[in-house]
């Protein structure tokens, strides 16, 4: 296909990309503003970044968010991969329709609904069993529930395109199903697993609504702190914090994408070499 765009198409593409990027770039620009007044450019300065390193509230919240993110995305990776295998490999089992529904619904379910319903469950559980107390545990469980959906979708589409005959060949040669899966299919779906974990991690790190509902007193995640600061008015240190988060996530995602592409190319090359 030749790259001949009509000017209209090209301009809409450019406008769309501009809409997506200008606010973020402006935000990063403002984070280096020396002036405390957001509308006046007071010269280049890193004062807001330095201020962040003394802000205990933000540092604690960031640590909590990172911990929850790692726990939740690892849990979601395990459950989501199992669900993806179940849905692609087993076409008839009792509850398949229900599992499909429960895996896809969180993708579109408004967060306020998920948040309040899960909170009511946790409160009732605490009343009956004395567990879980609202805070780290409840936030992590709630995040696993919605991140599982994203992992499942990512891994599922990869599994569907993976060639099953290789695994069957390994099993014919006497390897057990678990070993065949681990040695043949797992390397093929590894990029999807990495993508699913990374996506879960960023979603967990970003979640405000569900966390606010299920969290208890004293447990404030980073988005909760940012939200309450923004709600009170623009504070320049949030600009710096936001820039750091965006830069970290951006670098991470681009790097991961690059590494996955390289691994993929190497795998294809190996297949070509083997076929010769």
The residues in 78-137 that bind other proteins, with binding defined as CB under 8 A, are 78-80, 82-83, 85-87, 89-90, 93, 95, 98-114, 116-118, 120-121, 123-124, 127
CB of 184 to other proteins, least distance (A): 16
Give the footprint of other proteins on residues 21-40 (CB under 8 A): 21-24, 26-27, 30, 38-39
Q: Interaction with other proteins in 242-271: which residues (CB under 8 A)?
A: 242, 245-246, 249-250, 253-254, 257
Angle, CA 59 vertex, CA 57 and CA 61 arms, to 5°: 70
Smallest separation, CB 162 to other proteins (Å): 14
Six token digits for residue 62: 């960031």
The residue range among 13-21, 46-54, 66-74, 161-169 that interacts with other proteins, by the rule CB under 8 A, is 13-21
Verify binding: residue 72, other proteins, rule CB under 8 A: no
Shortest reach from residue 90's CB to other proteins, in Å:
5
Buried b (16+ CB within 10 A) or exposed e, 137-171: bbbbbbbbbbbbbbbbbbbbebbeeeeeeebeebe
Paired with 44 in beta bridges are: 33
With contacts defined by CB under 8 A, name the span among 43-51, 166-174, 183-191, 207-215 that binds other proteins. 207-215
Three-class DSSP labels, 41-56: CCCECCHHHHHHCCCH
Among 46, 50, 59, 157, binds other proteins (CB under 8 A): 157
Distance separating alpha carbons of residues 156 and 81, to the nearest angstrom: 8
**In the bound complex, what is the minimum distance in angstroms from residue 271's beta carbon to other proteins?**
19
Q: Crossing angle, helix 96-108 and helix 136-161, to 10 degrees?
A: 110
CB atoms within 10 A of CB 86: 17
């Amino acid at each position: 296909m030749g790259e001949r765009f009509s000017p209209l198409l090209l301009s809409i593409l450019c406008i769309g990309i501009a809409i997506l990027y200008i606010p973020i770039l402006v935000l990063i620009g403002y984070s280096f503003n020396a002036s405390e007044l957001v509308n006046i450019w007071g010269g280049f300065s890193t004062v807001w970044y330095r201020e962040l390193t003394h802000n205990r509230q933000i540092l604690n919240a960031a640590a909590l968010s990172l911990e929850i993110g790692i726990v939740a995305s690892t849990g979601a990776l395990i459950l989501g991969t199992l669900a993806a295998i179940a849905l692609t490999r087993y076409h008839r089992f009792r509850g398949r329709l229900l599992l499909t529904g429960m895996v896809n619904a969180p993708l579109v379910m408004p967060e306020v609904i998920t948040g309040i319903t899960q909170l009511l469950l946790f409160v009732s559980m605490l009343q009956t069993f004395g567990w879980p107390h609202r805070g780290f545990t409840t936030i992590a469980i709630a995040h696993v529930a919605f991140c599982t959906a994203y992992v499942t979708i990512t891994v599922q589409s990869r599994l569907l395109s993976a060639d099953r005959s290789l695994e069957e060949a390994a099993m014919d040669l006497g390897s057990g199903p678990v070993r065949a899966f681990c040695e043949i299919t797992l390397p093929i779906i590894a990029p999807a697993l990495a993508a699913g974990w990374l996506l879960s991690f960023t979603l967990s790190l970003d979640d405000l609504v569900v966390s606010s509902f299920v969290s208890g007193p004293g447990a404030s995640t980073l988005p909760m702190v940012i939200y309450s600061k923004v709600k009170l008015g623009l504070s320049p240190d949030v600009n710096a914090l936001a820039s750091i988060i965006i830069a970290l996530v951006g670098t991470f995602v681009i790097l991961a994408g690059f590494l996955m592409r390289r691994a993929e190319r190497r795998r294809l090359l190996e297949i070509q070499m083997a076929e010769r």
